[in-house]
A and B are shown apart, each in its own frame.
Chain A
Amino acid sequence: MEFGVIEFRIDTHSGVAPYRQIVQQVRQALRLGLLEEGDQLPTVKEVVAQVAINPNTVLKAYRELEHEGLAAGRPGLGTFVTRSLADGSLGAHKALAAELGRWLQKARRAGLDDDSIAALFERTFRASMNEDVA
């Protein structure tokens, strides 16, 4: 049996419901181009064997993905990706990642630790979102 293309991780201390974590991880993989249209998601049996969670949780996550139009179930076969979220922006990822890497080096040289970098990013991100709205 061929195994699904992505592996899920469930963090029970995150405060995010397990089914939401699966939905978020699929969306993330779609955005990064790790999952593409036509890819099969791991079967319910594969997921529960791997991460020891309730089968209904996986079903609920897949139903939500179907509801969002990102996946579709094919009876007897499994659940398949029907739409990508990567679009045309994927081509720009490499250059942006390199630029971000250089920025991170600069921040560390300036003496920021990981928490400070995350806090600064978060604040700037929010401020720029507010500018876009205004």
Chain B
Amino acid sequence: MVQALPVVLFILIVSLVLAMSFYFARKAKSASGYYAAGGSIHWGVNGIAFAGDYLSAASFLGICGMIATAGYDGFLYSIGYLAGWIVALFIVAEPLKRLGKYTFTDAIDSKFNSKGIKLMAAISTLVVSLFYLIPQMVGAGVLVTPLLGLPHYVGVIMVGIIVITIVATAGMTSTTYVQFIKGALLIVFSTILVVGLCVRGLSTTPDQGGQVPFHDYVSIPASRSGDTIVPADASYRVQSVTTVKGVELARLEKSGLVTWWQVETVDGSLSLRETQSVVTLASGERLVNGRAESADNRLALVGNMERIDGQTGEAADTGPISPFRFLALIGSPDSTIRLWKEVKLKDGDDKVSVYYDRPVSGNRIMRPGLSFKVEGTPLERIDFISLMIALFLGTAALPHILIRYYTVPSPKAARKSTIVAIAAIGAFYILTLFMGLGAMTNGVVNLADNNMSAPLLARSFGTFLFSMISAIAFATVLGTVSGLIIAASGAVAHDLMDRFGGIIKDDKHKVRAGKVAAFVVGALAIVLGILFKGQNVSFLVGLAFAVAASANLPSIVMMLFWKRTTSKGISASILVGILSSIGLILLSPTMFELFGLDPASAPFPLKNPGIVSIPLSFITIVVVSLLTKADQLPEPGEKAALLQKA
């Protein structure tokens, strides 16, 4: 049921954002005002706005969701995303500010004035922005269902329309202030949520703050008889037994109700453990735990500790604890957490998703390995390394982050705003570990979509916190999407139409072209957001980082540090970076699985392409630059001087 407070707060935040856009619209008459906020934003505001830009749906919804279901592995995204700011600060911040105007294309093309670079860099900006837009739009759809009771696609369309309005009215100035407010609110309310978690402490029977009684999933003793299972409770009748991906499942019937159970052996004794299931019948009707799906019959939220530091039952309840104790208790080898997994199967004409739980010790939860196979095959380990490299190198190559350097007045301000960003983003990422683990142990994980873990955790603390966190999460999506659409519209109007095509007549024409581009990119983002429903948003952003790191970073770094870099080398490197990273993603097990193919038959065995595509892009720039050295025009003196002699 939709409650009034979340709707009121949601409308309030959206109204505030739109009011700000119309207020700042007067500053967006010139191209400089529209694309770079006139270069007049204070470094402190810009730093928090950086955090607002960067702490996207992936950070807030995706990482918390991944930690809630895979423990420390989700936190690796936080570590990698934050580490990327080191590259931004030490390598690109000041030079980029010094050389660029509105887009990152300006900076890498500043020494060359090359049509090829303009075209390639603009395409790269569009591709990376679209890749990054998908998870944001998916996140928007995820939020509106529990918040406003609307379907996923309505949320996506709503965000699209609001963001197009923000960007088309006031450009970078309003986007900056939206980011600033949202970034600050996100950190403040996440801190409040973590304080609440520590005050509540840990329990083996979490009841969502007294709102939902704890459900203890039952196990029925059983025995094996030939190919079938015989439950000790004779009221159950086993209809079939099947094994999928190493998980043995039994379909049981009791008083006409058909449910799925996991066959497990604990301490040598066979038993049937209760699961949750969603069965999609051939007619399209969906059954949840054997009954027709309805507002009152949905998958139950899950996640609890079975043992806390060796204690069970009421004796295990901790009461208020310190943040360090909170982490220490969850990570203790004597603690056990029940984690849930999904297995899909075909049952005649029916499609079945069975969600089953298993005990995992605390020390396994609090170190890598549950999701990333760091103890698996060499290829699986390489896949992990590939992801961590892409996260590290991707940040400094994201167009919507790079353009924020043009909104401050000086290179020094660019540096200082990056440091504010590192402090704010770092603090938030530390909070993600608490929020994710809090969701995991407080019975608030949505089995069908883990992206909602943080808002649902907030709901267990009451409607106000849930409403605020959800409204902020929605603003998070609005802010990040605005930044991405500004970057994309800059690439179209400034890089392609003006610098590459020469068809822009004047400043006003450029602003108008940017607004039209914002509308088109926004519409495209809406379609993609609907198509990619259900994907973990942090995973999708990881792929966007790989594309950015492959396509953009090599050219930025080599342009800054290798004097023999040529314009053709940069163009070729960007092209190879885009094609190789996207090509490898399309050939990866992830895409095969998405399109219903066997992941094991994917030609490229890694899920993350960075470890191949980034070096390939670097090699391309070196080889092509060496081959085309003779063609290189002399560097325009005053521009080269900015870099080399400054």
Tell me, yes or no, whether A binds B: no
